[in-house]
Amino acid sequence: MAPRLLSCFGVKGSSTSTTGKGISGHNAAVVAADVPAGDGPVLVQLFSSQGCKTSPEAEMLVSRLGRGDFDGQIRREGGSGSPAMILVFHVDYWDYMGWKDPYGSSQWTVRQKAYIEALNQDTMFTPQFVVQGRVQFLGNEEETLLKSIVEAPRFPSPAFQATFQRPTSETLQVSLTGALRMKVDSTGIDIMVALYENGLVTDCPRGENSGRVLANDYVVRKLEKLCTVKDLAAKKTVSETAHFTVWDGFNSAKCGVAVFLQNASLQIFGTQSFQLPDEI
């Protein structure tokens, strides 16, 4: 593998609504997401870092995208629900520059490297957008982002019902049951479950963003492969459970769960999201 260059670039310049109801015990809840009748949201992944001077602009852009500021520009005719589902992965390769990103992880750096290879790129950089696992570009390019979402292939959302349980104060179980609403052939597909957090605010005293207060939304804290499925009919029910260890200060009111289907090349084929109930 060729050596990878690292760059922090600048340029001049979803969640589906949910309903929940409690079940027995104070530490469990069932959530059924509204499933779009047609195409589901496009997955927008941002690779970012608090140690990169130009990443805060991209983070602000995804926050605006998530709260629906651009829905009128990216929603297809007749569409309903959020047109995009957002996940932000904080990489760790800028931690040496004076500020260690509290949400940075080598796991997300590895994921970005996999996209660099899959999309035939030579340079790892932040901020970087990857849309539906198929196209990538600089994270500050608003027009390119919106155009990429509009032009991205879309797929039906899975029809999962989610059950959330807290077996202990340190753990969260996410049980999903439902159909994928798409046929899977013998090559197979992975069902991924991400636990993300919104409303994060960090005073940054050092590094390239020294003196700034950084706001971050849709920050992926945990990512697990629920299972791999092969030779599956679109209406066949899948039932599996993901297990997460939660972090100090975990607040379910600020968190959501994103489910997405990806192939071996990390291309995305279906998305669904849930807001965690406050009582979990």
- Rounded CA separation 132/86 (Å): 10
Q: What ranges do the domains of the chain cover?
A: 39-71+79-275
Q: Which amino acid is at 218?
A: Y
pLDDT at 29: 72
pLDDT tens-place string over residues 40-75: 999 999 999 999 999 999 999 999 999 999 999 999
pLDDT tens-place string over residues 87-146: 999 999 999 999 999 999 999 999 999 999 999 999 999 999 999 999 999 999 999 999
- pLDDT over threshold 90, residue 22: no
The reply to whether the predicted model has a pTM over 0.85 is: yes
* Mean pLDDT value across residues 250-279: 95
- Fold exhibited by the domain 39-71+79-275: Immunoglobulin-like (2.60.40)
How many other CB atoms are there within 10 angstroms of residue 173's CB atom? 15
- DSSP H or E stretch at residue 259: strand 255-262
Q: Which region, left, alpha or beta, applies to residue 81 given φ > 0 means left and ψ of -120 to 50 means alpha?
A: left
Up-side HSE of residue 76: CA atoms within 13 Å toward CB?
16
- Rounded CA separation 173/159 (Å): 19
Alpha helices in 138-204 (DSSP H): 142-151
Q: Which amino acid is at 226?
A: L
